[in-house]
């Protein structure tokens, strides 16, 4: 087997005190996130982060900052994203970092970057936090894509600063973290103008950028700062923002034991030889408190937050540090009634307008989406010790295949239980819930399951199979053999073909801006990154910054 380049990320956690690239400050309802990239602060050695270009480390800090604003600064209703360097906002993803890293790392980096962009949009839509990008200089590539994720874009009018998506003319790749999609679907830029804009490396500046809808306003240097303050104050005054008490997010505790990552509620076990992993989520250890003051008193230790923070961390390690893992078994364990009580308390808090409960709920949805977007085969396995109920039942519905164990004589049988959480509470990227997606086009089956959400009936193995909530129900003789054969067959298949197949099958139904973005990442960008015109010896990405010009294979396919 060929050896692959290893790009190990020790930790995906960040904290404002350790930020290298962002400055976070809060003044009442307005927070400021200032980009000041340390050139020598790359997450790997061998490249310099010039011109406020970014790598994964920069994005990890941004994701952490937005998360902390939502939990630790609930008074904030507007975030101003700006840059400290003169005449440059952000030059986008660092080209030399992209050139030096492996293909799988590139794609997973782009995926995380765009999930972070989507988090900004979700915070605006669901939490009422508005984002203002104040571009004090040129915003190109991923820098402009960060601006596109904001509610409003302001550009300094100095005769030089521009917005641009130069990937096609300069690098032979796509604006890989949603640029093309947000220009047309979100900013509603006319197709032919978007074609021109995406084909010229220098981009568009000044009044033309406003006229085309690429930015919302421009201001000369003399009034730029005052305009930012005026616009931020206007954006901060909205009726959708819910304030509340701050909840501090402590470091995630994990015990490392060779191939295991053991958190309080999550365990990740890696089998490098079989190229598979087991990911287990545990129920609360005791009956959790109800919503309101009791939930807030638990703070970051509340199961609905802590378990899913741990799950999110485990997913990122799977993605970035275990690229060769082909299949992930999803397990749950513990008392189902504790899971249902925890989520019931959270949902009650959301209904009562509790900000902490809302952010726990939204975080849970984001983590489940992160699983949806992960290029691994997911296998859900239901046994008597499982607690696939409510929010944890979503793990079954996002799985590519699932089995439930039946007919255990003298033992408690396996079961599944739906709850109100499964009824419209957690949409996927396609705008549908996982149940709606699972039964797309089968209204009768969906209606049956939605009734089960209201009654919370406990489903025995054969009932779960008849309802379509699992793929197969098998007895204790066939269950281990079928699971073993499925795992062996799956890891023997082409990883590329599986990634394409699974991504196509996970989001049937309506196309959304989000499915288009991640579809391009999974298919178009994935393909383009491996083509000689981009990364071959004479490709545009390979020759960027060199005195040699790229040479393209002229055949279009």
Q: What pLDDT, on the 0 to 100 scale, is given for residue 103?
A: 87
Whole-number CA gyration radius for the chain: 24
| Same domain? 232 vs 309 | no
Q: What pLDDT, on the 0 to 100 scale, is given for residue 39?
A: 96
Distance CA 118, CA 546 (A): 34
Q: What pLDDT, on the 0 to 100 scale, is given for residue 524?
A: 78
Judge whether 505 lies within some domain. Answer: no
Sign of CA pseudo-dihedral 252, 258, 262, 268: positive
SS3 at position 254: coil
| Same domain? 226 vs 261 | no
Distance CA 493, CA 277 (A): 17
Mean pLDDT for each 10-residue chunk of the chain (557 residues)? 64 96 97 98 94 97 98 96 96 91 90 96 96 98 97 97 95 86 96 96 97 98 97 88 90 93 98 96 87 79 97 97 96 97 94 94 98 97 97 98 86 92 94 96 96 95 97 95 97 92 91 90 82 91 89 89
| Same domain? 201 vs 342 | no
In the chain, the largest separation of any two C-alpha atoms, in whole Å, equals 80
Can you give the CATH number for the domain in which 37 is found? 3.90.226.10
- Position of tokens 């519905």? 397
Q: What are 275's two structure tokens? A: 């190229």
- Sheet order of strands, 137-140 included: 87-90, 137-140, 162-164, 204-205
| Same domain? 154 vs 261 | no
Q: Please say whether the beta carbons of 261 and 271 come within 8 A.
A: no
* Domain end position, chosen among 207, 236, 265: 236
Judge whether 246 lies within some domain. Answer: no
| Angle at alpha carbon of residue 174, lines to 168 and 178, rounded to 5° | 130
| Same domain? 215 vs 166 | yes
Q: What are 280's two structure tokens? A: 């287990």
SS3 at position 219: strand
Q: What are 21's two structure tokens? A: 């690239």
Q: What pLDDT, on the 0 to 100 scale, is given for residue 163?
A: 98
Q: Please say whether the beta carbons of 103 and 542 come within 8 A.
A: no
Show the domain range for 121: 16-236
| Same domain? 179 vs 273 | no
């Amino acid at each position: 087997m060929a050896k692959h380049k290893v790009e190990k990320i020790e930790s995906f956690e960040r904290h404002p005190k350790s930020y290298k690239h962002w400055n976070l400050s809060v003044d009442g309802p307005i927070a400021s996130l200032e980009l000041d990239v340390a050139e020598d602060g790359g997450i790997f050695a061998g490249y310099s982060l010039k011109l406020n270009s970014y790598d994964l480390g920069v994005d990890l800090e941004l994701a952490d900052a937005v998360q902390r604003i939502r939990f630790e600064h609930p008074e904030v209703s507007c975030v101003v994203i700006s840059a400290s360097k003169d005449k440059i906002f952000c030059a986008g993803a660092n080209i030399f970092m992209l050139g030096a890293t492996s293909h799988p790392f590139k794609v997973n980096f782009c995926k995380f970057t765009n999930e972070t962009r989507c988090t900004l949009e979700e915070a605006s839509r669901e939490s009422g936090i508005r984002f203002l990008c104040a571009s004090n200089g040129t915003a190109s590539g991923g820098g402009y894509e960060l601006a596109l994720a904001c509610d409003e874009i302001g550009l300094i009018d100095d005769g030089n600063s521009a917005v641009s998506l130069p990937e096609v003319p300069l690098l032979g790749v796509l604006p890989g973290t949603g640029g093309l999609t947000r220009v047309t679907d979100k900013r509603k830029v006319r197709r032919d103008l978007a074609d021109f804009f995406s084909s010229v490396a220098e981009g568009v500046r000044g009044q033309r950028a406003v006229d085309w809808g690429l930015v919302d306003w421009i201001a000369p240097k003399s009034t730029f700062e005052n305009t930012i303050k005026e616009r931020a104050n206007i954006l901060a005054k909205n009726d959708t923002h819910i304030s509340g008490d701050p909840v501090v997010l402590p470091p995630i505790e994990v015990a490392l034991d060779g191939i295991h990552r053991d958190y309080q509620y999550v365990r990740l076990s890696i089998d490098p030889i079989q190229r598979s992993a087991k990911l287990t989520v545990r129920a609360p250890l005791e009956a959790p408190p109800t919503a309101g003051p009791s939930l807030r008193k638990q703070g970051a230790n509340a199961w609905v937050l802590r378990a899913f923070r741990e799950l999110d961390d485990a997913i990122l390690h799977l993605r970035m540090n275990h690229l060769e893992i082909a299949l992930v078994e999803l397990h749950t364990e513990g008392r189902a009634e504790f899971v249902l009580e925890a989520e019931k308390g959270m949902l009650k808090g959301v209904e009562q307008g509790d900000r902490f409960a809302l952010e726990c709920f939204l975080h849970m949805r984001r983590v489940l989406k992160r699983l949806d977007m992960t290029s691994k085969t997911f296998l859900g396995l239901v046994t008597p010790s499982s607690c696939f109920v409510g929010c944890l039942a979503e793990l079954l519905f996002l799985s590519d295949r699932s089995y439930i164990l039946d007919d255990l004589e003298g033992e408690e049988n396996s079961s599944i239980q739906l709850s109100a959480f499964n009824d419209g509470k957690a949409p996927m990227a396609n705008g549908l819930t996982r149940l709606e997606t699972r039964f797309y086009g089968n209204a009768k089956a969906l209606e049956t399951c939605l009734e089960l959400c209201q009654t919370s009936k406990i489903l025995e193995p054969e009932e779960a199979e008849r309802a379509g909530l699992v793929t197969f129900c098998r007895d204790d003789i066939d269950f281990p053999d079928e699971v073993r054969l499925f795992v062996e067959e799956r890891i023997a298949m082409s990883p590329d073909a599986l990634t394409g197949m699974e991504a196509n099958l996970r989001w049937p139904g309506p196309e959304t801006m989000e499915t288009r973005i991640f579809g391009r990442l999974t298919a178009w960008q994935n393909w383009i990154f491996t083509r000689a015109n981009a990364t071959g010896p004479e490709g545009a990405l390979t020759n960027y910054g060199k005195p040699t010009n790229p040479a393209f294979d002229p055949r279009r396919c």
